[in-house]
Structures are given as C-alpha cells and as structure tokens.
Amino acid sequence: MFADAKKSWPLNAWYQAAWSHEVEDKPFARTLLNEALVLFRDEDGAVHALEDRCCHRATPLRLGEVVSGGLQCGYHGLIFDGAGKCVHIPGQNNIPSQSRVRSFPIVERQEIIWVWMGEAEKADESQLVDYPWLDDQTNWPHKHALYHIDCNFYLLIDNLMDLTHIPFIHRNTIGGGDQKGQVEATMEVTAKETGVHYIRWMEGIVPPPTYVKGAGWAEGIKVDRWQEFEYIAPSTVVQWTGALEEGRGAKENRDQKGGFNLRLYHGVTPETDDTCHYFWTPLNGYKPESQEATDTLFKEIDFTFQEDVEFLEAQHAMMLAKPDAPLVNTKHDSALVTARKAIDRMIRAETQPPLAAE
Amino acid sequence: MFADAKKSWPLNAWYQAAWSHEVEDKPFARTLLNEALVLFRDEDGAVHALEDRCCHRATPLRLGEVVSGGLQCGYHGLIFDGAGKCVHIPGQNNIPSQSRVRSFPIVERQEIIWVWMGEAEKADESQLVDYPWLDDQTNWPHKHALYHIDCNFYLLIDNLMDLTHIPFIHRNTIGGGDQKGQVEATMEVTAKETGVHYIRWMEGIVPPPTYVKGAGWAEGIKVDRWQEFEYIAPSTVVQWTGALEEGRGAKENRDQKGGFNLRLYHGVTPETDDTCHYFWTPLNGYKPESQEATDTLFKEIDFTFQEDVEFLEAQHAMMLAKPDAPLVNTKHDSALVTARKAIDRMIRAETQPPLAAE
Amino acid sequence: MFADAKKSWPLNAWYQAAWSHEVEDKPFARTLLNEALVLFRDEDGAVHALEDRCCHRATPLRLGEVVSGGLQCGYHGLIFDGAGKCVHIPGQNNIPSQSRVRSFPIVERQEIIWVWMGEAEKADESQLVDYPWLDDQTNWPHKHALYHIDCNFYLLIDNLMDLTHIPFIHRNTIGGGDQKGQVEATMEVTAKETGVHYIRWMEGIVPPPTYVKGAGWAEGIKVDRWQEFEYIAPSTVVQWTGALEEGRGAKENRDQKGGFNLRLYHGVTPETDDTCHYFWTPLNGYKPESQEATDTLFKEIDFTFQEDVEFLEAQHAMMLAKPDAPLVNTKHDSALVTARKAIDRMIRAETQPPLAAE
C-alpha cells in the first residue's frame, strides 16, 4: 500500500542537525541525508554548516580548525567562510572563484540546530516546528538524548504511529499493566496538511509500572490514560502522554496538577538510506521541581527506547534482505498510513513537474 | 570439469537444520540455503520451521515468544501456527487470508532436525538418511558439534572426498605416522545413485599418534588401517575408520573387538552461498564404556577439524577472488568428481524440464 | 586536470614487494596491485614470488611449506618451483603441463625486494631505482618501517609532492617554527623523464623543534633549510632534507659536517585500488655514530607520518564517496601535477597501441 523499501525523503524541509550544545568552536562532523557535513560555531556564536570536503584536494574539513574568518582546512590551510567561500589560500594571492564548498541554511532555535538540505533559496523559517517547552527548563525540565540507529528513518516514525506495539515490545516497562486495555484503546486519527494527529484513551485501566512509580500511586488504583501524538512531516513527532486517577475527569481536562504526564520531543533525521539519528527528550511535567524525577524519567525512557532499537534494526535488516516481499496492514496502521501520505506529498511536490496552467 | 564457483544446490532434499537438543520452547533462528528461518518446539513437543519474517511489518519472528497456538511476533503480537497461518491479530477480529508466513516441512529423527527447503508437497521421508547409531548412546556414545564455516558447503564435502590431504593438513594429528603409506593407500571408489562410496586400505603401516593413544598400542606396532566413506547427496557424509593390529585379518572382518575404530556423522548445510553449517559427531566404537575415551575422541577430532577450517576458509576466499581461474584435477579427485556428479543430477532434475515422451 | 579517482597503475615497472629481512624460509604472503602473491627464500637464499593459489584446488600456497625444490601446498602436497612449475604431485607420476602457477620476476638489491608485475619478458634491471645509502649502515644508519594505509597510493605520493602541508598537518612536529617562512619557501621544480625533482629553500628561518633537538642548537639560532625531493615513477620518492646555521653557505654546499640532515627513502606500492603499502626509512646523516640519534630520528618521523596517515585515509574515503566532484588546484600543486604526468606516460605506453610508422 505504501512503499516500505523507499529510500528517499524530501530535501526542501528542515531537519534536526544537532542539539545546540553539541556544536562548539571546533569542527563538528555529521552525515545527514547521505551528505557529509561539518558544522561549526563562529566567533560571534553563529552556527554554520558546510560540505565536509575541501575543494582543493577533497580533504574532510572536520580535520581542520575554526579560525578568525571561518573554517581552515587542516591539510594545506585554505580558509572557508560560513557561506562556503574560500577566503584564504596560503602563499597565493588570487583566489579562483570556483574555490568554494557548498553551505547549508541553518537556524538555531529552542535548543535545536535545524538544517535545510534542499534548495537554499526555498528555506523558509515559517515551516520550523515550534516546540516552546524546550525553552522552559523551569517548568519542563529535560535532558537531551541522541541515538544512532541502523534503520531507515521511516521505521522509527512508523513505530511512533502504532502504539499497539507497547504491550508487546515494552511488556516489562511502559507496556505492563492491563495489556488488553492498551490494545483496545480508543483511537482518534486526524489527517492534517502537515502530517497526522491522533489520541488514544484507555479509561479505568491499571497503570503501567513506570506510571505508578512516577506518580507515587498506591497499589490497586485505576486511571484514565491518554496518548496524544502529532507527526509533522518529514521528521518530527511530538507527544503528550499521561494519566489521572479515575474519576478526576481527565478526558474533559488533562491539564490538572498531579497524576502523571510527560511531553516527549522526537526528531528523526536520516543519516543514510539505512541509518538515522534519533534526537529525543522527555520533559518532566509532573514533578518539575525534582531533579531526581527528571533523571529517573530520562533513565526509564532510555531503557524503554533501547527495547525499540533492537526491533527496528532487526526489522530494517529483514526489509533489506527481502525488499520486495509484501506487507499486510492491520487496522492499527491507520495513523502510520496517514503519516506516509503526508511525506509522500512533500516528495511528490519536489520531484513532479507542476501542471501547466490551461 | 565441474563447476567450482557454483553457488546453487538442490532444494527438494532434506538438510540438517539443527541438532534436536538445540530447539526448545523459545524461538530459534537459523539461516539455511539463504533463507532466514525460525524454528520452535510447540507445547506438544513438535518442531516447526517458519520464515523468520512477520507478514505485517517484516519483523523477525525470532524476537517473539512461543505461546499457546503458535509463535507470537514480539512487535505487535500477531500469532502464527506451525503451518504459518496467522491465527490472532490483537484487537482485530477478521484475519485476512494473506496473513501468513511460509512454513517448511520438518522431520525430527535420530537426534537430527531435518528440513525440506523446496516444494513442500514433494517432501518424502523415505529419502531421509538413516543413521541408527545416533540413537544408541550406550554402544556408540557421542557428543554433538556444530561449526559455522566461511566457505561454500561444496568445499567441505570435497575435503571429505579426498583424504590425501590428511598427511599434509593433519601431519601433527591423524596424519602423522607413515605419510607415504597414507598417500599410496589403495582406493576403491563406487558410484551410487545417491552419491559415492569409497574405501581406502593402508596395510602394515605405522599408526598415527591419535590411533596409538586411542587403542593403547605399544611403540613399534604396525596395523592394517581402513577409511570408509559414503557421501549421500546433497549434504551428508558417513564415515567408518579404524585399524587393527597387523595379522588380525582386518580386511576380511573389520567388526572385531579391540584396536581402534570410530564412526563419524557429517552433515553440511549451506547457510549462504559463502558460508555453511557443519554438524558432526564422532561415535566412540572402541571404548564405549569410557566417558573419558568419548571426551578425548571428541577433543582430538575437534582439534583436527579446526586445521581443516583454516584451509577451507582460505580456499573459499581465493575462489571468490578468482572465480574464473581454472582448476587442475589429480588422480585423487575421483571420489570428489563422482560426488559432484550426484549432486549435479539432483540440481538438473529440479531445473530442467522433463523430456517429452515420444 | 588530472584523474584523481583513477585506480590503475603501470604494470611494467618495478615495485617494492618487501624489505629483504621480511622474507625468510617460510611462505610470506602479500597482496600487490590487486594480486595475491606468496614470496619465499629457497635453500640457496634466492627469493621467488608466485601467485598465492595452488592450481589444483585454489588453496593459498601461503599455508604450505618451503621444501627442497620449491614451495609445497599445505592441502594435498603439490610442489612448485621458483618458476611456478609443478614438480611433484604426491602419489602420481605424470604431471600435466597445465599444472603451474604464475611466477613474477624478483630482484633483491640494497635491502629491497623488487617485483615486476607486468610482462615478465620486459623486466629490465636497468630501470631499478639506485639508492646506495641503504647498503651503508655505517655512515647512514637506519631502521625500516612499513605502514599499511587505507588510501590509493597516488594520494601518498601527492602528499610528498606538496610540502605546504607541513605547517598545517605537522604544526606540532616538523612543521613548527616559522610557519609563514615554510609556506613561502622558494620552490624549484624540474620535470624529468622518469618523474620530477624539486628543491625548496627557506633561508634565515627559525628551525622546527625536531631539527633543534637533532642538531643540539641553542635557542634563537636561525638556519638555512632545504627540502630536496625526487619522484621516480611509479612508486619511489627519495628525499634529502636538512639545515645549516645561517651564514655557513648551505645553498652553495649542503654537504658539510654538523647542522641537521637526513635522507629518506619512500617506497609506495599499491595493495588494492583503495589501500597501499608504505615502505620508508630515514637515514641518520647527522650523527651516524649515535644509535640513540638513529632511534630518536625514527621515532619522531614515525610520529609525524602517523599524522599524515589520518589525513590520507580521510581524504581517500571522501574521494570514494564523491568520485566525480571536481578538485581545484593551487599554485603549490606544480610538482604533483608533473609527477602525475610521468606516471600517466607509463600507463599510456602500456595501454595505447604504438603509432604506425609512416
């Protein structure tokens, strides 16, 4: 129904290149969308992204140094400014105009360094995902994570679009408790121009161990639990999940003190056709004053996500081994299918010629 | 003369998939003939073999669990029975008929789990190799081994078909003693419909160190030594080798007490074009009451076979590097050539259309 | 301008196969120019090079043994003489004429084992590089090194042809001191039929730390420094570098006692398209009586060359990733361009048909 062996992605889009804290005044190399980049922070604190290849002898610029005026190649000393223009060749006065490397538009905002890998003149800041909670360490304290995963980035997004995996992969962590209740949660899926939104409700269920520990609930308590996700194509998923004790009217108003809830930001950027970078951070919305709660939350999510990684990598390897074997959707794939349609629209917009006006 | 770079094999045949003891009530993954399989033993003790790929999202089934009714995928919980039919999709009542995975005929017999990788309807138990000694731990005590070798499975069978390698590769173990006597052994080769049989006799020779140790012979004693091998295409070799003191009439009657003799079962199953599984077990026929003799025999054969592995992997790598370079047969290749003809007949029977009757 | 992604080389030429001390009376395997060879020293001390593949069953001959009369395959005992002719098949009297392996012309001279990988009948000893200092451990004591590098051998020669890399890659070792003086050294390039010669002079500069330590100079002293290199296609670079105190007339006569100077022999032999063997040895010309000076010189050059290796491997990987991306020469590439022309002439001489005489 949708192309699972597909290995392309939209180029005219913002992708997370790094967390802000990763890029300092030293060259920082990262491959994104099959392109080797080098990022660096200049003397004024601005971040730049260049092709990680000197135009002189193809040496990776990551082996060089950040100097006044730009990034200096470590082999023969050529210097490139943030726009990729060569501004210095040691011992040579004239600089040929073809002495340049490709540069990529960068925006740094809300702790994220975003890069635009397509046509630079189409880079549009209004398309950036807005996630203001990242700027609020006081009310939503959080720690940053990054996984390198040996799977196509689509598989990770699929994983977040079908939560019926939770009682199976995560039976010992967040998927514990009432398994049947989780599988049979109500599911409301809303297609959006930018992606897909869905919310699942499990009412009157036994909460999973992670939630019990987080909220400090007594044994035997039942809760109304929600899982709200939005996918913004091509590569962001934002999540708000939690539970309140049964009877507190969670379904009408989730925004109450107490209980358990967390926000999760997921940024998934292709590294290559077969690997991706997974940026994620869980924001502690239930005990913001407790450093211990923030640490515990991070640790448990980390443990849980490692369970997913094992499956994603095995699944990807199997898809590579049998690229043409068919897949059979289940009814739980509805959000996943809608998500794929959104990214497919972006790819088509880039690759298909516009229709001629009549 | 025969195709050494060949990378195919008959499919309509029984191959050893595992030793019986390997497959328990947990999913057991193994790649055979380029196909990733998952085996499991159900509640009734029956062994089943399925394609190791869930039809829903291509997740390997080895990450799941054996449950009542079959094998459950660990990602979203689909259950497949031993015939590969999906019998449960969590939270969904109807199960589409295309929800199934391929299953493979299995027979478990004489400590061996056999699998049929070709057309299921042609699976024929009468073609199974019969090796009753495996069922007789009392008179033929034995331990099981399995090597994973980086070579095409043909090269391992070739190795067993030309024993003039013994005084060279194994000069320090079973190939010690009278080297010239070993090279010049008489060799009687008999082509069979299912493969080839040969027997070699070395009369009045100094026995190799392994034999001396096994039989407890005094120094200086001479023996009549035999090596009897049968290859049953595509992938089994059975062996009976031993020696009796000169003058005891070994050539007329090998089945006497004393001296030294052992049976060896060899099962070689392709994993991929370039790797194979080598199942083997030496059966202690000379001191069945001695656990120490069984252990020592196993340890020495193990050490000896490791010597072969080094050669087989280097030989395979060289054939990959120069696939089209010619090979020059020697007169010692007669059994090897006959063995290849038998397996070639099986391949031709599968791949060539039957001749029209006149 | 020149083909950087090129992956070929002249075959009718001498390449260094090994240092003399590496090849003893055991089979010695090494891949050169994509060809797996086995070298051995016979009973008379002569070195031979054969294809590392037995003609019988493709077993690598490196697993065999040197015996009287040649090299014996370790699998079934065939013996090949130094010319590659099979002279013995165990248990078989007639030896078919096609029982042979390819042999390669070898010359051992001045501590180097040279091999000719092309048409044997064109092997011409008069084309050998002459480097008599290797025979003179008394006046030019030296230790031998060999690196295995993951780069095309051209990149290593390029490195030696453009020394403006020294103040960048080697800023902490031989590139320290007056960086601007090094970049702006005079450079005299002379094209030769066999390659290219160049000499660079830096007059009145602060010497680099390595030189100061070597010569035992006081702080603040200035020197006249030279770097003389000759590339002899396809794979040899010889070097004489040093410095004398300012005012001693180095430019008129470098051959004076004192100061600092060393000779360096570089032999670069392709292993595969993407890897090479780098043979090198620095000859201590400034304190030949001191073993400590010889050791220190070796250790420091070794440390310095490791800095190059990091760049060469990263540069090669980037060229593989973007084989068609253009390169932009600088004025410092003049010797490099001339060197490439010399090797290109050799390749053309082999691959292009001679013009018909009018």
- The CATH number given to whatever domain includes residue A296 is 3.90.380.10
Which residues of chain B have a CB within 8 Å of the CB of A321? 36
Model pLDDT for residues C125-138, shown as the tens digit of each residue: 999 999 999 999 99
Question: Looking at the domain assignment, is residue C355 inside a domain?
Answer: no
For chain B, what is the total number of helices (H) and then of strands (E)? 6, 18
Domain shared by B204 and B326, yes or no: yes
Distance from CA of A184 to the nearest CA of B (A): 6
pLDDT of residue A357: 53
Give residues with Cβ within 8 angstroms of B354, minimum separation 6. Answer: none
C315 to A77: CB separation less than 8 angstroms, yes or no: no
Of C59, C91, C99, the CB nearest to B315: C59
Chain B residue whose CA is closest to A185: B91
Please determine, for residue C214, whether its predicted confidence score (pLDDT) is greater than 90: no
Q: State the average pLDDT for chain C.
A: 92
Per-residue pLDDT, A182: 75
Counting the structural domains of chain B, the total is 2
CB atoms within 10 A of CB A206: 19
Is residue C183 domain-shared with residue C116, that is, in the same domain?
no
Model confidence band, residue B209 (pLDDT cutoffs 50, 70, 90): confident
In chain B, what percentage of residues exceed pLDDT 70? 96
Residues of B in contact with A315 (CB under 8 A): 57-60, 75
CA-wise closest residue to A162 among A200, A217, A219, A124: A200
Residues B83 and B152 in one domain: no
Of B101, B127, B153, the position where a domain reaches its end is B127
State the average pLDDT for chain B.
92
Give the pairing of strands B28-32 and B35-41.
antiparallel
- pLDDT (mean) for C162-181: 81
DSSP C226: E
Q: Is C76 in contact with B331 (Cβ distance < 8 A)?
A: no
| Chain C: residue whose CA lies nearest to A86 | C328
Nearest-CB residue to A91 (from C183, C310, C318): C183
Identify the pLDDT of residue C4.
Answer: 44
Q: Mark yes or no for CB contact B63/A314 under 8 Å.
A: yes
Choose one of A103, A127, A151: the last residue of a domain.
Answer: A127
d(CA C100, CA C88): 11
Enter the tokens of residue A60. 């990776």
pLDDT tens digits, one per residue of B242-287: 999 999 999 999 988 889 999 999 999 999 999 999 999 999 988 9
Residue contact B332–C58, C-beta within 8 A:
no
Residue C215: name the closest of C277, C146, C261, C271 by CA: C261
pLDDT, mean of residues C260-270? 96
Lowest average pLDDT, out of A77-91, A315-329, C222-236, C249-263, goes to C249-263
Q: Are residues B218 and B99 in the same domain?
A: no
pLDDT of B8? 85
pLDDT at residue C1, as a whole number: 32
Q: Is the pLDDT of residue B4 over 60?
A: no
- Looking at the fold, whether A344 and A203 belong to one and the same domain comes out as yes
Q: Is residue B170 part of a domain?
A: yes
Residues of B with CB under 8 A from a CB of A: 36, 52-53, 55-60, 62-63, 72-78, 89-92, 96, 98-99
Q: Is the pLDDT of residue C149 over 70?
A: yes
- How far is A172 from A168, CA to CA, in rounded Å? 9
Q: Hey, which chains touch B, using 3+ CB pairs under 8 Å?
A: A, C
Chain A hits for B55, CB-CB cut-off 8 Å, are 326-328
The helix (H) or strand (E) run that includes residue B199 is strand B195-205
For residue C7, pLDDT beyond 70: no
A119 & A159 share domain: no
Q: Which pLDDT belongs to residue C12?
A: 96
pLDDT at C44 over 60: yes
Same domain, C262 and C210: yes
Give residue A277's pLDDT: 98
pLDDT at A353: 65
Spacing of C-alpha B322 from chain mean position: 27
The burial of C3, by beta-carbon neighbours within 10 Å (0-12 exposed, 13-18 middle, 19 or more buried), is given as exposed
- State how far the alpha carbon of C295 is from the alpha carbons of B39, C141, C284, C298, C303, in Å: 61, 10, 9, 5, 12
Q: Is residue B357 part of a domain?
A: no
What gap in Å lies between CA B53 and CA B104, rounded to an integer?
14
Average pLDDT over residues C246-253: 93
Confidence check: pLDDT of C351 > 90: no
Whether residue B25 sits in one domain with residue B158: no
Report which secondary-structure segment, H or E, holds B230. strand B223-232
Measured between alpha carbons, how far is B93 from B109 in angstroms, rounded to an integer? Answer: 39
Planar angle of CA B74, B75, B80, nearest 5 degrees: 60
Token pair in block for residue A342? 């959104």
Pairing of strands B236-245, B223-232: antiparallel
Please tell me the pTM assigned to this model: 0.93
Q: Write out chain B residues lying below 8 Å of A314, CB-based.
A: 59-60, 62-63
Q: Is C175 helix (H, G, I), strand (E, B) or coil?
A: coil
Tokens representing A93?
């006065």
User: Can you give the pLDDT of all 358 residues of chain A as single tens digits?
Assistant: 334 445 489 999 999 999 999 999 999 999 999 999 999 999 999 999 999 999 999 999 999 999 999 999 999 999 999 999 999 999 899 999 999 999 999 999 999 999 999 999 999 999 999 999 999 999 999 999 999 999 999 999 999 999 999 989 998 777 766 677 777 788 999 999 999 999 999 999 988 887 888 888 998 899 999 999 999 999 999 999 999 999 999 999 998 888 999 999 999 999 999 999 999 999 998 899 999 999 999 999 999 999 999 999 999 999 999 999 999 999 999 999 999 999 999 999 988 766 655 4
Sheet holding B186-192, edge to edge: B145-149, B275-284, B260-272, B236-245, B223-232, B195-205, B186-192
C277 contacts: CB under 8 Å, gap ≥ 6: C16, C30, C32, C146, C147, C148, C149, C268, C269, C270, C271
Q: Is the domain of B98 the same as that of B137?
A: no
Give the domain CATH number at B82: 2.102.10.10
Please provide residue C330's backbone torsions phi and psi, each rounded to the nearest 5 degrees: -110, 175
With beta carbons less than 8 A apart as the criterion, state whether B170 and B302 touch. no
Query: Quick one: pLDDT at residue B355?
Result: 63
pLDDT class for C211, splitting at 50, 70, 90?
A: confident
Statement to judge: residues C50 and C147 lie in one domain: no
CB contact (8 A) between residue B164 and residue C59? no
Q: Chain A closest CA to C167's CA: distance in Å?
A: 8
pLDDT at C358 over 90: no
Shared domain for A102 and A246, answered yes or no, is no
- With a cut of 70, say whether residue B119 has pLDDT above it: yes
**Which one has a higher pLDDT value, B2 or B138?**
B138
Q: How far apart are CA C258 and CA A208, in angstroms?
A: 81
Q: Is residue C164 part of a domain?
A: yes
Please give the pLDDT value at position A177: 67
Q: Fill in the amino acid letter for A176.
A: G
User: Do the domain assignments include residue A93?
Assistant: yes
Are A28 and A164 within one domain?
no
CB nearest to C74's CB, from B168, B184, B325? B168
Which structural domain, as residue segments, surrounds residue C279? Answer: 132-350
A163 to chain B, minimum CA–CA distance in Å?
9
C45-101 tens-digit pLDDT: 999 999 999 999 999 999 999 999 999 999 999 999 999 999 999 989 999 999 999
Q: Rounded to a whole number, what is the largest CA-CA distance in chain A?
A: 79
Both structure tokens of C141: 């004591």
C26, pLDDT greater than 50: yes
Which of C315, C316, C331, C334 to mutate to probe the A interface, most A CBs <10 Å?
C315
Q: Do B92 and A327 touch (CB under 8 A)?
A: no
The pLDDT score that the predictor gives to residue C2 is 39
Average pLDDT for B310-339:
95
What pLDDT was estimated at residue C354?
Answer: 64
CB C76 within 8 A of CB B168: yes
Domain boundary among B89, B107, B127: B127
Residue C358: C-alpha distances to residues C44, C351, C355 (Å): 51, 21, 9
